[in-house]
Amino acid sequence: MDRNLRWRSIGLIALIITCIATLLPTFVGSDRLPSWFHKKKINMGLDLRGGLHIIYGIDLDRAVDDKASEIKRDLDAKFGEGEWKDKITVVTPSSPVGAVTIKVTDVAKKGEVENLVMADYKDVAAKRECRPDDGPTAICIQVSSSYAEGIRVNALKNAVLTIRERIDERGIAEPSVQEKGEDIIVELPGVVDDKDDPEASESVNRVRALIARTAKLEFKIADDGSAYMKNLFTFAKSDPNAAAEEISADPDSWTVEDSPVRHNDWYLFARDQKRSIPVAEAKKIGCWTKDLEVTEGKVWCQLTGKTIIERYLFGSPLADIKGVLNTEPKLKLPDGRQIAFELVNPDPSAKDKRPYWRTWYLDRAVRLSGSAVTQAQTSWDQNTNKPIVQVDFNRYGGRVFGDLTSQNVGKRMAIILDDKVNSAPTINGPIRGGHCQITMGGSDAAHMQSEADDLVSVLKTGSLPAPLREESVRAVGPTLGADAIDKAKISFAVGILLVIIIMLGIYRWSGWVAIGAVTINVMMMLTAMTWFGATLTLPGIAALVLTVGMGVDGNILIYERIRDELTLGKSVRGAVDVGFSRAFTAILDGHVTTAAGGWVLLQYGSGPIKGFAVMLLVGIFCTLICSTVVTRIFFDWVSSRHKGANATTLSI
């Protein structure tokens, strides 16, 4: 055996050993291998292994409302200085979507202000009809329908990209995230909720929560000392309906460092309770299961204190509750204000250590959002011994945060994450430098650390442009996967069997060489998929079978050329040399042409088409190597060890 053949043989043996070692965990099982052995396996797709199929709806109107808040911030900055200072008030009503109302104190200046506003926002906003209670000096605009539609389209696309990045962060192989109308369809291969496995169930719930988490970080100013909250406090104190719902009202007060001024506020609070509610409402809030006992159209559900207060204030049409804010004229929520909620964990020294939900009366306008965040990382607060998330703002965010804290000394700043007040610290003075920290709530250290890690993950990938709601979750179980795998095995086995019969019947010993090369070809394809973490789907198996046929086709081209050369009287060595060299061009041409088609499918296809394209491209590369290199090594072995350089016969 010459030196060149020896090194090629060593390389082939090393390749075979590598493929076998790589595929052992997949076919033998990691539990049967030593602990030091690698754990990488071939990732099965949703159609083979099962997984989760989730449909999300997205509240695109929130993205339009955020644009209205941005317009309000710009107008506040524009009219907050110079001759307009204290003469113009800008609010963002809760309806219609994307509405902004500008109120001018001097009616004679209304036309001038309107011209300035429309000149700045002629392509963004359109005029709308004012409500009677807006007054004669009000200028009413809203985000124009064409601009709002563009916001919705971009929000949907950005949501798809953000969800895909979050799933990639979790290391789930080959997820599918697609738009369908105004819905987003997410498919997670291998993510199965097993009720008998608490760890698997917890992992699934965490992935679902991570996907749906808006991660919308907002900073708003609490309107403390307001007459409105004092009226609501007084009303709730004496309202028997509030007492029946176990809703309490309390005052709050605080002072600022080095200041004798006392700030006062009033709020409502309630703890989680079990309530009998209509089935329709149970389905809406997500507590409905088929196992619940229905009595007179109602089921028992564990309601959060937040839900209980919301039902009392805003009502619930499904439960025929009107809500005091809708029935009491004096309690109608003013434009530009909102009621938000915070989950409070009492101090260890408190008599009642049960957590509760409390209200915050806030300015609706978002003063600063998570889009200004450049860096987020977890740490520990040495004073509270709780995990915190340290947030760094960009230059614009740092300047706005500094101005916001300097203009509202003594007030509370609500740090809102996903529409829930995370904390509302008192502003003791201007905070410059572009840094802040978010303290995680709760009593379980491990859970708080997990929450902090997830928050950092979603802040890094970016917030969703609008909240998601989980419309449906469907588990693709192992039964469907097993059926698909069984059928794929049958098709693959039949294809291989036909190849063996045909190749042995026509080419005899050389047919075994082709079969050996095809076997190595399949091993190389599966090894490459394992290394790169690609997912094997049912269309991928179809591509695998197709690739086997292409590999055999390449061998046939070579064999027929060798036959021709032997017929002309050349030796085995000469016929093999000419056969491989002259057939290579045709083989390469066919593979490149097929690869071009596969590349197009990979770029523009999705789902099953993309799975087919990935496997096809991997197979084309492996087939080219096996047809021209591996097969040649086998023939060189025979010609060098058995027949010699002058042999004139070959079993082909």
> pLDDT tens digits for 162-198?
787 777 766 665 677 888 888 888 888 766 665 555 6
> pTM of the full predicted structure?
0.56
347 versus 563: the higher-pLDDT residue is 563
Report, as an integer, the average pLDDT of 370-376.
Answer: 78
pLDDT tier at 240, thresholds 50, 70, 90? very high
Nearest to 285 by CA among 269, 268, 302: 302
Given this model, what pLDDT does residue 480 score? 53
Give the integer Cα–Cα distance in Å for 208 and 196. Answer: 19
What residue ranges define each of the domains in the chain, with the CATH number in brackets? 3-50+477-643 (1.20.1640.10), 53-212 (no CATH), 213-465 (3.30.1360.200)
Torsion 155-157-160-161 (CA) sign: negative
pLDDT tier at 380, thresholds 50, 70, 90? confident
**β-bridge partners, 267:** 250
* Residue 242 reports pLDDT greater than 80: yes
Percent of the chain with pLDDT over 90: 13
Distances (CA, A) of 620 to 494, 519, 591: 21, 14, 6
Yes or no: say if 395 and 438 are a contact pair by the CB < 8 Å rule.
no
Given this model, what pLDDT does residue 69 score? 85
> pLDDT tens digits for 272-282?
999 899 988 88
**β-bridge partners, 343:** 357
Give the pair of three-digit tokens for residue 135: 């007054």
Report, as an integer, the average pLDDT of 340-366.
Answer: 86
> pLDDT tens digits for 209-238?
777 776 677 888 888 888 999 999 999 999
Given this model, what pLDDT does residue 651 score? 72
Given this model, what pLDDT does residue 442 score? 58
Given this model, what pLDDT does residue 478 score? 54
pLDDT tier at 293, thresholds 50, 70, 90? confident
* Residue 646 reports pLDDT greater than 60: no
* Residue 527 reports pLDDT greater than 70: yes
Q: What is the DSSP string of 68-92?
A: HHHHHHHHHHHHSSGGGTTTEEEE-
> pLDDT tens digits for 536-550?
777 888 888 888 888
Average pLDDT over all residues of the chain: 82
